[in-house]
Amino acid sequence: MSIFSGLSRPMRAAGVALIGVAVIAAIVGGVTALSGNGSSDNNAGPTSSSGSPSSSQSAPGSSSSAARPSSSAPSSPASSAPSPPPAGQSGQPSQPGQPSGQPGQPGQPGQPGGQPGQPGNDQQASNKWVTVRVYNNSTISHLAEQAADDFRASGWNVPEVGNYPQGVIPHTTAYFRPGTDEEAAAKQLAAEFGFQAQPRFDGIQNSSPGVIVIITKDYQSPKGS
């Protein structure tokens, strides 16, 4: 007795078709299972080969990552290398301190700095070439001659001595024309002998060039006479 007995003809045909499909599916499943084992063996090779490329690809990555540590490693030795020299050379910065002490020797140029006072004396001596004329405006005889001798003894150029009767000068004064060499010379002469220096007044404005010293009774000779 068949399993299809009692079924209509169309149902039988459908059942046969389903059985056929099941058989085919079972065959295909077995074949695929067998081929799957073989393919797994075959795939094992490619995967290993592909795994090796992947590992090789990862190796460049690892090599790059290793290169980074290597780059960082040189940086750390570089940083560590500079740090020891300052430690070892800590005594040497004292040597730069010695060059700074040697610039302290420009204190010796400071001694020439004290010598510039001497060039100042030379400059003052250079003012003594200016002509100085001395005139007496006091009632003391030969007071102008005394003053002229004092000036000459100090190195001043005094070619003329006389009297000034055109008025009364209150104090001994060296007169100069502003803006000329006479100004520096008159001020230096006045400071040296203790009287004043002023610009020329109208009465002597047109006199010959040179410093004009008008001596009065307040003149004090360095000789004490």
Question: Domain range spanning residue 1?
Answer: 1-88
Q: Per-residue pLDDT for 156 more than 70?
A: yes
Residue position matching structure tokens 């006199």: 207
Tell me if 49 is assigned to some domain: yes
- The band of 117, judged by pLDDT with boundaries at 50, 70 and 90, is very low
The answer on 80 and 150 residing in a single domain is no
| Three-state SS at 96 | helix
Q: Give the separation between CA 121 and CA 173, rounded to whole angstroms.
A: 23
Tell me if 74 is assigned to some domain: yes
Tell me if 29 is assigned to some domain: yes
Q: Which pLDDT does position 160 carry in this prediction? A: 96
Query: CB of 207 within 8 A of CB of 200?
Result: yes
DSSP 10-49: HHHHHHHHHHHHHHHHHHHHHHHHHHHHHHHHHHHHHHHH
Q: pLDDT, tens digit, for every residue of 119-152?
A: 455 656 779 999 999 999 999 999 999 999 999 9
Domain count, the chain: 2
> Span 77-96, mean pLDDT?
46
The answer on 82 and 137 residing in a single domain is no
Q: Which pLDDT does position 37 carry in this prediction? A: 54
Note the pTM of the prediction, 2 decimals.
0.47
